[in-house]
Amino acid sequence: MESRPLAHSLGYPRIGADRELKKTTEAFWAGRRGASELLQVGRELRRANWLAQRDASIDLIPSNDFSFYDQILDLSCLLGNIPARFHWDGGPIGLNLYFRIARGARANDDACCPAAASEMTKWFDTNYHYIVPEFDARTTFRLSGAKPFEEFAEALALGIRTKPVLVGPLTYLHLGKAAGIDKLSLLESLTGVYAEILRRLAEQGAEWVQIDEPILTLDLEPAWRDAFAATYRSLRAAAPSLKILVATYFGELRDNLPLAAALPIDALHIDLTRGNDLDAALAALPPAMALSLGVVDGRNIWRNDLDASRKLIERARARGRDILLAPSCSLLHVPVTLRAETTLDEEFRGWLAFAEEKLAEVAALSRIATSEGDPVLAYRSRVAIQSRRASTRIHRPAVKARCEAVTAAATKRRAPFPERQAAQRARLQLPLFPTTTIGSFPQTEEVRAARARWKKGSLSTADYEKFLEGEIARTVRAQEELDIDVLVHGESERNDMVEYFGEQLEGYAFTKNGWVQSYGTRCVKPPIIFGDVSRPHPMTVRWSRYAQSLTDRPMKAMLTGPITMLQWSFVRDDQPRSATARQIALALRDEVLDLEAAGLSVIQIDEPALREGLPLRRADRAAYLAWAVEAFRLSAAGVRNDTQIHTHMCYCEFNDIMGPIAALDADVISIETSRSNMELLSAFTDFRYPNEIGPGVYDIHSPRVPATGEMVDLLRKASAVLPRENLWVNPDCGLKTRGWDETLAALRHMVQAAATLRAQS
Ligand code: GLN
Ligand code: ZN
């Protein structure tokens, strides 16, 4: 009989089904658990993951995909690339130094001196954050750890010959930040260490190694493209017996396909859930190179359409080439198991697959390919696909019809900005340099405890609402005492800015335990958008109206924008993201109009995730920005001229998207600028941003209370480059992670700073 394709996996979630890793690591940091206990939990998790994958009939099981914090940090440690400020002595890197690099060293640590944490940034277009490697003229590489070897041996002792996983040398360099050198100048010495690693793995008995080069799905400079061939020739020569699989994911290879196909490797993995052209890959690869098909979506939670996947596999096998099957990328980006989701109804659960279930799908596909498949799984897949296609829980004709009826007029405010600005000035009567905040006020232990009791049922809804009214009243009073101009209600009713809205919208679902690692021990539980989205009832009006009733000053209502609602959720795979965004936008539009009717004169629609939704390839960005901007405008544009629309984004790299930002046509935008000393405002000044703008004057990520003078300086800088009558005064972001004392002190200084500037004008 024909041999079946190897089923493999690119990586498995390491947090544990019950977030054991998070809990133990945090206990270790707090001094409640010792290093040996943490190491033991790590061993147990690896063992459980390997055994789970073996039980799922996965042929090639990964190792070295485990991490106590981040796999790129692990790699930096393995390569001996530790920033000089941590004073590494060149010896073994223990847990304390490892976590210090990730989280920074404090003066009272056992470290010799304080050192800033390494930077963290998003891993491609995911919500996972890695620790950014640092390179400078002094950077050298030397094999400085044994993690991949130890983990390989650990699994071998269980009888599992794993496929060690390493992020490739070009991706590692590309993702780092360099000071004063060309990163590629480091490639040769880096490749030398990789060669040594491969040799040692081969000696240990590894048969396969997986080298991840996801940068092959990016637009690459010629020098980077050219560097691949020689690098992989060296790696090949270092370990001729080792089978090298190069893994790409998160996008299409496009112009990088010929270069990948020419590498001296044994197999290439492509992500078929992100539009890769299978036929192009089949045509480009030399006959001896195996093709690994990423058919099961590692970025989303839907059950695979096994029939559709089988067709792809058959097409690939028809050419006689060796095929491997896998999820599209590491399963790090999905929750661990559906087993804990006991509160979801049977039909809905049947639509889903988390990491554990996805591996079963890969294994089943490998068997289906030679028709010894798992009939039960194949049947369930068919049922799920059928029911999702027809379900009235998903498909709501009224929502679809309303979306289709959207006209260009619905995305336009009634008058151009200057006219609106005049109307808003007449209505709001604000001073020059008006002060406001971004929305949330401190979420104290008390607030969280009350919500927890209410969710458990030990606090009645009436009592919980009384409690929230008390919080709102205190927040409003505090702002009046501070003499802030545009007030907020404080968002104490919200656990999370997406979840709060998702819970009230049709078409959203929530899991009990669907945690995904975001960075280090931080995990998030993204909602699932499964169906047509609509708003059955107002979501925030009650709280904003109440807050407005307590004051004569303008109250600003707070909403989470359509792109952020989309970006921070698992989304439907049965319609384009743009269609889902439009549905959410219409739901928010209704809320905006209800708020306006309730007397709110200022409404803020937060879009902190707009930028992170940018596609990886430049060629795809314009299309995304077009529908994203349309969705925002659709949510906002229904209001009168004298209703002021704000938006907020907690970052400031706007240079390449200034046109679309302006096209949002928000009356006021608040952004983060304090940490860059207003330098990043240049995008707005160069562009001559026409509307009003609130460049953040203090960093809310730190408990430090900035002096009035510091904020005055920042505001002077801003008013030197922007029309002063367009300037607002606000913090960088919401205050929910801060305590009340520091918040009141910082806001008092902020109001004083605004007063100082007014007095000088
Ligand atoms: N309105 C939100 C808050 O103040 C905005 C948060 C954000 O931008 N991430 O908390
Ligand atoms: Zn923010």
For the stretch 201-214, pLDDT in tens is 999 999 999 999 99
Q: Is any ligand 1 atom within 6 A of the Cβ of residue 572?
A: no
Mutate to test the pocket of ligand 1, among 555, 648, 651 (most ligand atoms within 8 A of CB): 648
Q: Going by CA atoms, what residue is nearest to atom 1 of ligand 1?
A: 439
Mutate to test the pocket of ligand 1, among 441, 491, 747 (most ligand atoms within 8 A of CB): 491
For the stretch 29-46, pLDDT in tens is 999 999 999 999 999 999
**CA angle at residue 383 from 382 to 384, to 5 degrees?**
90
Distance in Å, CA 733 to ligand 1 centroid: 6
d(CA 697, CA 678): 8
Q: Going by CA atoms, what residue is nearest to atom 6 of ligand 1?
A: 734
The reported pTM is 0.95
Which pLDDT score is estimated for 116?
86
Residue entry with tokens 């496929």? 163
What band does 1 get if pLDDT is binned at 50, 70 and 90? very low
Q: Is any ligand 1 atom within 6 A of the Cβ of residue 606?
A: yes
Mean pLDDT of 684-706: 93
Q: Is any ligand 1 atom within 6 A of the Cβ of residue 82?
A: no
3-state SS assignment for residue 290: strand
Distance in Å, CA 197 to ligand 2 centroid: 42
pLDDT at 479 over 70: yes
Q: Going by CA atoms, what residue is nearest to atom 10 of ligand 1?
A: 734
Which pLDDT score is estimated for 227?
98
Q: Is any ligand 1 atom within 6 A of the Cβ of residue 731?
A: no
For the stretch 570-596, pLDDT in tens is 999 999 999 999 999 999 999 999 999
Name the closest ligand to CA 443.
Answer: 1
Which pLDDT score is estimated for 110?
58
**CA angle at residue 749 from 745 to 754, to 5 degrees?**
150
Q: Is any ligand 1 atom within 6 A of the Cβ of residue 438?
A: yes
For the stretch 199-245, pLDDT in tens is 999 999 999 999 999 999 999 999 999 999 999 999 999 999 999 99
Distance in Å, CA 93 to ligand 2 centroid: 36
Mean pLDDT of 168-184: 97
Residue entry with tokens 């860059």? 676
Q: Is any ligand 1 atom within 6 A of the Cβ of residue 540?
A: no
Q: Is any ligand 1 atom within 6 A of the Cβ of residue 649?
A: no
Distance in Å, CA 568 to ligand 2 centroid: 14
Q: What are the phi and psi torsion angles at 708 (to 5°)? A: -55, -40
pLDDT at 107 over 70: no
d(CA 606, CA 588): 12
Q: Going by CA atoms, what residue is nearest to atom 5 of ligand 1?
A: 734
Q: Is any ligand 1 atom within 6 A of the Cβ of residue 608?
A: yes
Mean pLDDT of 666-694: 92
For the stretch 485-534, pLDDT in tens is 999 999 999 999 999 999 999 999 999 999 999 999 999 999 999 999 99
Which pLDDT score is estimated for 108?
57
Q: What percent of the chain has pLDDT over 70?
A: 99
Which residues have a catalytic role annotated?
701
Angle between helices 35-55 and 147-157 (to 10 degrees): 60
Amino acid at 51: L
Which pLDDT score is estimated for 440?
98
CA of 439, closest atom in ligand 1: 4
What band does 102 get if pLDDT is binned at 50, 70 and 90? very high
For the stretch 618-651, pLDDT in tens is 999 999 999 999 999 999 999 999 999 999 998 7
Q: Is any ligand 1 atom within 6 A of the Cβ of residue 364?
A: no
For the stretch 255-287, pLDDT in tens is 999 999 999 999 999 999 998 889 999 999 999
Name the closest ligand to CA 567.
Answer: 1
Distance in Å, CA 605 to ligand 2 centroid: 11
* Rg (alpha carbons) of the chain, rounded to whole number: 27
pLDDT at 111 over 60: no
What sign has the CA pseudo-torsion 407, 411, 414, 416? negative
3-state SS assignment for residue 657: helix
Which pLDDT score is estimated for 109?
58
Average pLDDT, the chain: 96
CA of 608, closest atom in ligand 1: 8
